[in-house]
C-alpha cells in the first residue's frame, strides 16, 4: 500500500512537470522583441527583465534566434527565465548561448549593458553551449 502511494506521488510530480510543455521556436529577431517565424508570422516574445533586455539588443536584430518557452496566447511566446537559458542565436543551424563579456574585468553576464565592475559597455559574445565558460561569474566573485 505504501509503495503504491509513493508511486502515485511520483507519477503526480511527473505529470505536473510534463504539463509545462516547453516549445522551441525559431525565427528572425525584429524590432520590439518580435520574432518573424518562417512563413512570415510575427510573434511577440516576452521574458524576465534580463531576457527582455537581450530581446531589445540591436546587435541581435536580423539574426536567427531560438526561443525556448511556452505560449502565453496565440501571438505571444513567453521565454524561459534567463538562468534556464531560453534564448539562443542560431548560426549554421547550431544554437549558441547569448552572453555579454567585459574584456577588462573578464566578467560574463547574460544581459546587455554596462559591466558591473568597470562600467564599460559589455561586448556581445555568442558561445558554444558545450564550452565550459558560458556561465556568468557567481555573484560573490564580484566586489
Q: Which residues of this protein are in contact with Zn ion, per CB under 5 A?
A: 102, 104-105, 115, 117-118
Nearer to Zn ion (CB atom), residue 23 or residue 133: 133
- Do 117 and 128 form a contact (C-beta atoms < 8 A)? no
Q: Is 32 left (phi over 0), alpha (psi -120 to 50) or beta?
A: left
Closest approach of Zn ion to the CB of residue 129, in Å:
24
Closest approach of Zn ion to the CB of residue 128, in Å:
23
Instruction: Give the residue among 59, 17, 133, 54 at the shortest CA–CA distance from 67.
Output: 54
Nearer to Zn ion (CB atom), residue 41 or residue 59: 59
Closest approach of Zn ion to the CB of residue 11, in Å:
49
Per the DSSP assignment, residues forming a β-bridge with 125 are: 99
Closest approach of Zn ion to the CB of residue 103, in Å:
8
Nearer to Zn ion (CB atom), residue 14 or residue 106: 106
Nearer to Zn ion (CB atom), residue 37 or residue 117: 117
Q: Residue number with the shortest CB distance to Zn ion? A: 115
- The C-alpha atoms of residue 82 and residue 79 are separated, in whole angstroms, by 8
As given in the structure block, the three cell numbers for residue 39 are: 512563413
- The C-alpha atoms of residue 95 and residue 90 are separated, in whole angstroms, by 4
Amino acid at each position: 500500500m505504501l509503495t503504491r502511494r509513493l508511486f502515485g506521488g511520483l507519477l503526480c510530480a511527473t505529470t505536473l512537470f510534463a504539463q509545462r510543455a516547453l516549445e522551441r521556436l525559431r525565427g528572425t529577431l525584429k524590432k520590439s522583441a518580435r520574432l518573424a517565424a518562417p512563413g512570415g508570422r510575427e510573434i511577440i516574445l516576452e521574458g524576465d527583465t534580463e531576457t527582455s533586455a537581450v530581446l531589445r539588443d540591436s546587435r541581435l536584430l536580423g539574426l536567427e534566434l531560438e526561443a525556448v518557452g511556452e505560449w502565453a496566447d496565440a501571438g505571444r511566446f513567453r521565454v524561459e527565465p534567463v538562468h534556464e537559458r531560453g534564448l539562443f542565436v542560431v548560426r549554421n543551424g547550431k544554437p549558441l548561448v547569448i552572453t555579454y563579456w567585459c574584456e577588462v574585468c573578464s566578467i560574463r553576464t547574460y544581459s546587455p549593458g554596462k559591466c558591473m565592475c568597470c562600467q564599460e559597455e559589455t561586448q556581445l559574445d555568442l558561445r558554444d553551449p558545450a564550452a565550459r565558460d558560458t556561465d556568468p561569474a557567481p555573484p560573490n566573485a564580484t566586489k
